Structure 1
């Protein structure tokens, strides 16, 4: 008997968005796309507050930056009339790229947050039709110590504590992780215990190149981050960080994700180095920890283990939270891999897509 629901992967690529779906047994996959063809889709997701609604960032070197919205679970898309941007003249460009979109608190159905390059955080109160800057972060006193990273100069990894709409988190590349306790009015840097080997001070309060930060939805005081120098965990809302890089073949990487049902289960894909920026030793290995990063094990069954020189970017991995947990990631070579047993076994879901920039899962009603 078929399920009334589907698992959907929204896969953003350098040339458009792909919608890849399956029944909840995850036995066979259907691919649609490219949607929003020709645009770089850095981030796309289904809105957990409103079934069938989805959002995507779309960036194009000629046609500019746009936000798209879907009302039919990602089958079709419409462009919204306005985008977040800095006021003219503040920087050389008021908007270079839209890097990240995040839903507001579950009690705020129409609220969205956006992170952009040049680094800025914006809020919309009307489903993305209009945007307002949050100057507490955008004009933070430490901003003169932020600097461009190789992959961009942007705000990303935006999270709202599910217990309260007043506690927000975001990351800046390269600036660090910041937290607000007053709905975005003011922000404090939360980077204690995190190394920055490329800066004069080894443990600065700001200036960190954060590649990815995640908040666990069921244990919101638990945060993880993958940085230019190391992998870290915090158990106190980012006040202190513990390095958990030991046991990994490299302290460099872009992506880190958690099992939504288990705050101790975390996945990373280490990269060789900041110089090479491909999989370590040409082996495509996902590393999993079941104890919050105290120990790591490589997961390789079904993944190429020689001459696989690919990159997995910060938004190109996600977990579905089903039982057992499914894990999915996309590579710079356009290959999408998935596992429906916590990463023990992997299959190639789609190959030879354009360069994959983002992967996001959702269970939707059919």
Structure 2
């Protein structure tokens, strides 16, 4: 209940101070926040999307997210940051500590230690901030490919280098220590006892484009099995803007699946219509088309109206569902309608 009270206070502050992007508690401490909620409904009884489980009954909280972030300038070059998030799968009384780390910058290098965000995808750093991306939710073909895991406990080092005016390269290796990761697939809870996560990402950022590539290896046991397995994950994403147009595409590949999407967005005035096409192969087999429009009511509040069609490539395959639709005697195809609102402060 305490977290819900903090949410109410933060929302009141946001409404009373519409021009403030964050709240300065002191000269070196800032509080900021973000949130999303939606009305969503499918035409299929089978729960759709990990951690959201949208069905054919109108859902008012399947996409609800709220987060608070505290940033502290400790001394010159040393900062601390913490982020608490009520994710879609969490109760208001039990939010998740998404990140909590110390960061030190020296010249072109940055070192972080603590709980950090997994840097596999284009939107990884702001995955829970619906205001930061064009869709009602990131394309699930790619962003559900690692079962919704978004953070690790460990260390990272980043090297930032300006290749030329307006072109910056970032190379960042990272290492995650042992941790138990859990995810619920309907009534089934999966437990992954991760021995380590180790990876590297490379970012190339220009004036109107960004290319992001990532690699991660995880060594783990899926309880109760005693067998230890390794999984190598490769990702590649790119975004490009030209005038009112924006294009985004990402691919994720590992030994059990391959997933990708491509999206096109056009912005005029405060409206941004978009269309996205995505596919999943091997362990999940589906194709999906999403059309929608985003409306920026203010610089910090946006709304999305979205219609999504997902088609199964193989009858009975889980696809983007939480479980096989055969368990519900349902079709393997599904249509989804979403109306969402996002905000930041």
Using the size of structure 1 for normalisation, the TM-score is 0.35
Q: Which has the higher helix share?
A: 2
Determine which structure has more spread, i.e. the larger CA radius of gyration: 2
Q: Which has the higher strand share?
A: 2
Instruction: Report 1 or 2 for greater relative contact order, CA contacts < 8 Å, sequence distance ≥ 6.
Output: 2
